[in-house]
Structure 1
Amino acid sequence: MTGAGIAAARSSTADLAKIVTQVDDAQWELPSACDGWRVIDVVAHLAALASEAVDPPPPDPALPKNRERYHDVRVDERRRWSHADVLDEWRRSSPRQLDLLEAAQEPPGAGEPVEVPGLGTYPRHLLANTMAFNVFCHLRDDMLAPDGPLPYTLPEPVDGQIAPAVEFMLAGLPQMQGPELTATVNGPIVLDLTGPGATTVTILPATEPTGQLTVAPGADATVQVHSTALDFIAWATTRKRWRDYCSITGDASAVTPFLDCLNII
């Protein structure tokens, strides 16, 4: 189970709640660091995710299959809403989402596989890490300075906030881009993440033509990518250039295609 995931989701949601009270109407309209979204649109995205978690809409085949475009559609639906209405939805739905995710930590349902359209399949308990990742990343990388427009600060993030977000990212890495990313890995690659949230894993190539990459614990390759775990959240989502935050030991040509392609949503 991942009690750490729900704790991280609650912690980052509490951080966002503190920031929300400081933002004025003009600041809500500023462009965020998430391309095409204003600051208020970032909250609208998180509110939409929360509302769908607590009251899932019926399947709609007309909606985009691409997960990023799907999120754009949900944000666009809220663009005409007032700031107050967006914030009300977020304040109403996020606590209920957190409670549902906490309940999902308990057996027998915790290990049940759940498909997240466009992102892969995860054990139900790991969905808490998904929320931890989303809130942390959007708040700290898209809304707050230095990359976002809001001139407010939070305490430095700690292991308990970063590690669960990274855990979700590594679980999603083999699934989100499918064959596109799989084709870039022809031999094992070590991903060595340091600092708060530290972990070391080896990314193994697919063993069958239609198979997926595998992420295994530990270091089992001479080709290694070194970064802090905090920076990984930014560059592995393409918010930052990996070349500015990573060092490579071993054959750089063996890992560059993978790093150029990686884009965790």
Structure 2
Amino acid sequence: MDHNSTQALAEIIPQVDDEQWELPSACGGWRVIDVVAHLAALASEAVDPPPPDPSLPKNRERYHDLRVDERRGWSHAEVLDEWRRSTPRQLDLLEAAQEPPGADQAVEVPGLGTYPRHLLANTMAFNVFCHLRNDMLAPDGPLPFTLPEPTDSQVAPAVDFMLAGLPQMQGPELTATVDGPLVLDLTGPGATTVTVFPASGPDGELTVAPGADASTRVHSTALDFIAWATTRKPWRDHCRITGNASAATPFLDCLNII
């Protein structure tokens, strides 16, 4: 399990001053401090799960906004304290979840689908990596700090979660865009090649399988995939399609991993 992105965030935090915490991040509507509030809220919920509340938004993005809004009146120190308090305990839980017999137990993440318990670590890897590098730090975010080039061990867990979530997060909306198999050929750190297969029946889901099993292929770096598949950047600026471009375009236009 990779802790590098969390460690990188821990090293960035002391360098950020009060004015910088208030700057708008690249995540629409959230200040830089709100991004940390989001990560702190996720960590606290992992450590001390709240009771089910049917009044909460079913849409995962609206749910995250609600949790951030609850913390908007907090001082910077209070937000950072929650993150520092809950994150190590969250990492301990995720570490334990890598071990059998519980590692393969199915866990529902409301609004995002169902995943084997061991993959919840990848969810955190994706969240921290994506928010830190795309929303907080320059060139896309406002903080003028740099990190070393991302490594395979940082990018791959995030991509693994995204590919596990791809068939589930958007349901029929995304499923309807795939009529034939499409290959995602991702290169560089976190490189992987998978085929997205159409649903086999009217109520089925897309499936994502290792390997290249189609002539229509979408080529991108894995690092760029994290940005465009979350709609932070336009896919057309970062993808090259070989084969039948018109077969891949509806899928790429629709894809929005949360």
Q: What range describes the TM-score normalised by the shorter chain of this pair? A: over 0.9
Q: Percent identity?
A: 84
Deviation string for 1:182-233 (max 9, x for gaps)? 0000000000000010000000000000000000110011100000000000
Q: SS at 2:73's partner residue?
A: coil
Q: SS at 2:15's partner residue?
A: coil
C-alpha deviation, 1:65, in angstroms: 0.1
Dislocated runs of 4+, deviation >4 Å: none
2:96 to 97, 100, 103: 103
Deviation string for 1:122-145 (max 9, x for gaps)? 000000000000000000000000
Q: Normalized against structure 2, the TM-score is what?
A: 1.00
Instruction: Give the corresponding residue for 1:3.
Output: none
User: Which structure is higher in RCO with an 8 Å CA cutoff and minimum separation 6?
Assistant: 1
Instruction: Give the corresponding residue for 1:45.
Output: 38
1:78 to 68, 71, 87: 71
Instruction: Give the corresponding residue for 2:80.
Output: 87
Q: Normalized against structure 1, the TM-score is what?
A: 0.97
Q: SS at 2:115's partner residue?
A: strand
2:187 to 179, 182, 194: 194
Deviation string for 1:78-122 (max 9, x for gaps)? 000000000000000000000000000111111100000000000
Instruction: Give the corresponding residue for 1:207.
Output: 200
Instruction: Give the corresponding residue for 1:263.
Output: 256
CA RMSD of aligned residues (A): 0.4
Q: SS at 1:153's partner residue?
A: coil
Q: Aligned ranges for residues 16-55 of structure 1 at < 5 Å?
A: 16-55=9-48
In structure 1, list runs of 5 or more residues that go unmatched. Answer: 1-5
2:174 aligned with 1:181, yes or no? yes
- Please give the alpha-carbon distance, in whole angstroms, between the structure 2 residues aligned to 1:231 and 1:20: 25
In structure 2, list runs of 5 or more residues that go unmatched. Answer: none
Aligned residues: 258
- Please give the alpha-carbon distance, in whole angstroms, between the structure 1 residues aligned to 2:148 and 2:216: 34
Give the counterpart letter for 2:153 in structure 1: G
2:217 aligned with 1:217, yes or no? no
